[in-house]
A and B are shown apart, each in its own frame.
Chain A
Amino acid sequence: MTGTNHLPSQASTHPSAQPLLQVKNLKKYFPIQKGFFRHVLGNVRAVDDVSFFIHEGETLALVGESGCGKTTTSRCILRALTPTSGQMLFGTPDATRVDLAKLTRQELRPLRPQMQLIFQDPYSSLNPRMTLFDIVGEPLLVNGMTNRRERVERVAELLRLVGLRPEFMQRYPHAFSGGQRQRIGIARALALHPRLVVADEPISALDVSVQAQILNLMLDLQKRMNLTYLFVAHNLSVVKHISARVAVMYVGKIVETAETTELFALPKHPYTAALLAAVPVPDPRVKTGSVELKGEVPSPANPPSGCYFHPRCEFAVDVCRREAPAYRERSPGHFVACHRADELKLPGIA
């Protein structure tokens, strides 16, 4: 991979600067309804008290197993879903901060161009009945670029930017492979010069041979356009190459956040260590970590007592079963939610 030597600007380089996005105590509960009158039986706590921040130009990776709430978190930030509670402070270019959580549909529309999404599935995310010109040009059209010739020029420019030929404009998505479709999706996301790009597992549906190409494209675009990425992924191996910081999620909560190198070398949460142990190492002589995950991910509708991870944790003690651990900063920039974070020596990978 050629993009590995380039790391986006680190968060620690401008600690005083206001983050582009600050999420505070975000919660998204889905009510479980039953019966004719749809009375509420309980809640699925898909996102349960999540806080993090992203600086401009930085990449934050959000990692967790499927069903841990990482996609729900990203959809809340884009306001495809309305959060149950919490704040999402977004820094607009004129240095004011708006709380995305409180905006109505009408108030959101002028902000939409500033945050865009790259989808996981390059097949379902492109309307099969529209040509590339219509797909990539639609954000331009609905945001005021009504002149067709102008749009044609801009779409051609965007297609070139993502490595596609402008002549493809008249084609329909069915003419393209998965990797090419993902490039189209990226072109559409970048059409309006967004400042925050949420990438929801953008490479997990692609062939391994194409994954690296798309990752490198994303890194390249970030450098050129000073993009800020929230990169959602379900394994850590991908994340190492693209993100400055990593947040690990487990059953709706963030359990650990740290700079990528630190998190990989010195994980402080047993769950992070278990995920790291699952990263394949292409060297038969290297013995991978001893931490193994047993059991199933608990249901967010009926989570266990205390620390949600305790039934699967080999280091669990009494207090883990009784009390939920606080999410605290244990060393500069390293946040952990574990009762035993300071005493455990967990294996990382270099």
Chain B
Amino acid sequence: MREPMANANPVVLPLDQVVKSVAEERVSVASNWKLVWWRFRKHHLALFSAGVLILFYLVVLVPDFFATYDPEATDAKLSFIPIQGIHLLDGARISPWAPAIVGKRNAVTLKMEWQVDATKQVPLHLFVRGYPYKVLGIFETDIHLFGSGSQDADAKVFLLGTDRLGRDQWSRLMYGTRTSMTVGLVAVALSVVLGVVLGGVSGYFGGWLDLIIQRLIELLQSLPTIPIWLAMTAALPQDWRPDQVFLAITIILALVGWTTLGREVRGRFLSLREEDFVLAAELAGCSRWRIITRHMVPAFMSHIIATSTLAIPVMIINETSLSFLGLGIRPPAISWGVLLQEAQNLQTIALAPWLLIPGLFVILAVLAFNIVGDGLRDAADPYGH
């Protein structure tokens, strides 16, 4: 055990010891968040997943920039176009292009059949001009990340094919990403507020209030969620605008979903109330408010963030299932669930399997959230003695 000496003589240390003590000093003055970050950083998969999530949320910020065509634009002549592959090399030169496609009506089934026209290449460019949109509702532009840059019908590129109404699936997916990822985030934010307030009251004050809140949580948890959602969404007026429905759905998801977080917060408060450092603050004469905000809440903040990160994918799946069943977000609004609704019948899946691609996005987002949440949970308590 190294006890400090009040007046130690300056000693010349060898370089490797100096380096070591500098590193030790860095740890000595590292705050909680720094320690959490250092530990999270070691979890490479979680770090990668965090990168994936950042990409997702970039799309949430400006879906139009990533979209190639107006997601609402329909063209009956362009329905059910399959995925056009992108080629990166033109000869030896890096210059991405997509093969043009031509439609031919089958004389027997009278169906349009799309075939690759290998003779014609549609070049792809970065930062092309397309339909105009507003960035974050502030300034207008028509620059898109990539595209063919041409509005010509036979020079169009449908990255992930088109649906029954000839709408570009890639562009619709960008819009769906915005809705679905936002629903998850907002619903979890609402349930964090509910959970922290009700769980905190329950855990800190105890008594009858605790009893009532705990029975309420048990009641909510014992109700089967799907019928509850059905009942609540069925109660929404049919003539509400899509954004009103969106808000209502998030509130409904949060109202049912706060209970786990509420329990967690209550448990943390109960155990923290008994902690010695909280008693020390009490004995120092700290006010209740100071004890809660300076000692108790920071002690479980990282756990709450980890738990909420794990709650977001559940919300996303909930929203997707609701919309898939036609009870959540309704067209013309676009979400992953709404997109998957297009792939509800066997015929579509057999003839246009690319309409299932939104499901891959759901899986990717849910996995990324879960891995990041796991990494955060492991890093949340960097002290463990």
Contacts and interface: CB of A to CB of B under 8 A. Distances in A.
Contact of B276 (A78, A124, A165, A170): A124
A298 to B, nearest CB: 25
Interface string B21-43: 00010011111100100000000
Contact of B298 (A123, A129, A192): A129
B283 A174 contact: no
A170 B29 contact: yes
Contacts of B295: 127
Contact of A177 (B1, B6, B276, B284): B1
A6 interface: no
B277 interface: yes
Interface stretch (B11-19, B133-141, B285-293): B285-293
Contacts of B280: 117, 119, 125-127, 185, 188
Given A117-B279, A128-B32, A139-B284, A180 B4 contact: yes
A52 interface: no
Nearest to A80: B279
A165 B283 contact: no
A143 interface: yes
A129 B275 CA distance: 14
Most chain A beta-carbon neighbours within 10 Å: one of B32, B280, B290: B280
Contacts of B30: 172
Interface in A94-148: 109, 112-113, 115-117, 119, 121, 123-129, 131, 138-139, 142-143
Interface string A184-209: 01001001100000000000000101
Most chain A beta-carbon neighbours within 10 Å: one of B4, B35, B383: B4
B212 to A, nearest CB: 12
A160 B6 contact: yes
B3 A123 contact: no
B279 A179 contact: no
Contact of B287 (A129, A142, A192): A142
B105 interface: no
Given A124-B276, A129-B32, A178 B283 contact: no
Most chain B beta-carbon neighbours within 10 Å: one of A172, A177, A188: A172
A175 interface: yes
A80 B275 CA distance: 12
B6 A163 contact: yes
A139 B29 contact: no
A210 interface: yes
Contacts of A116: 283
A171 interface: yes
Nearest to B299: A129
Contact of A117 (B32, B283, B287, B385): B283
A142 B285 contact: yes
A324 interface: no
A168 interface: yes
A82 to B, nearest CB: 13
In this complex, the interface size class of chain A, counting residues with CB under 8 Å from chain B, is 35 or more
Interface string B345-385: 00000000000000000000000000000000000000101
B2 interface: yes
A125 B6 CA distance: 24
B4 A178 contact: no
Interface in A147-175: 160, 163-165, 168, 170-172, 174-175
Contacts, number: 93
B32 A142 contact: no
B256 interface: no
B1 A142 contact: no
Contacts of B286: 138, 142
B142 interface: no
B283 A78 contact: yes
B282 interface: yes
A178 B1 contact: yes
Contacts of A168: 4
Given A117-B279, A124-B275, A128-B32, A163 B284 contact: no
A121 B276 contact: yes
Contacts of A109: 285
Nearest to A138: B284
A142 B28 contact: no
Most chain A beta-carbon neighbours within 10 Å: one of B4, B275, B285: B285
B281 interface: yes
Interface in B87-126: none
Interface in B223-279: 275-277, 279
A124 B277 contact: yes
Contacts of A175: 24, 27-29
Contacts of A51: none
B2 A139 contact: no
B277 A139 contact: no
B11 to A, nearest CB: 15
Interface in A32-89: 78, 80
A165 B4 contact: yes
Nearest to A125: B276
A112 B1 contact: no
B380 to A, nearest CB: 12
Nearest to A178: B1
Contacts of A138: 281, 284, 286
A18 interface: no
B283 A112 contact: yes
A252 to B, nearest CB: 21
The 9 closest A-B pairs by CB, nearest first: A175-B28, A125-B276, A139-B284, A112-B285, A127-B277, A171-B28, A124-B276, A129-B32, A177-B1
Given A109-B285, A207-B1, 15 more contacts: A112-B284, A112-B285, A116-B283, A117-B283, A125-B276, A126-B280, A127-B281, A129-B299, A131-B29, A138-B281, A142-B290, A143-B284, A164-B4, A165-B4, A171-B28
9 contacts: A78-B283, A112-B284, A131-B29, A138-B286, A142-B287, A142-B290, A168-B4, A175-B27, A177-B3
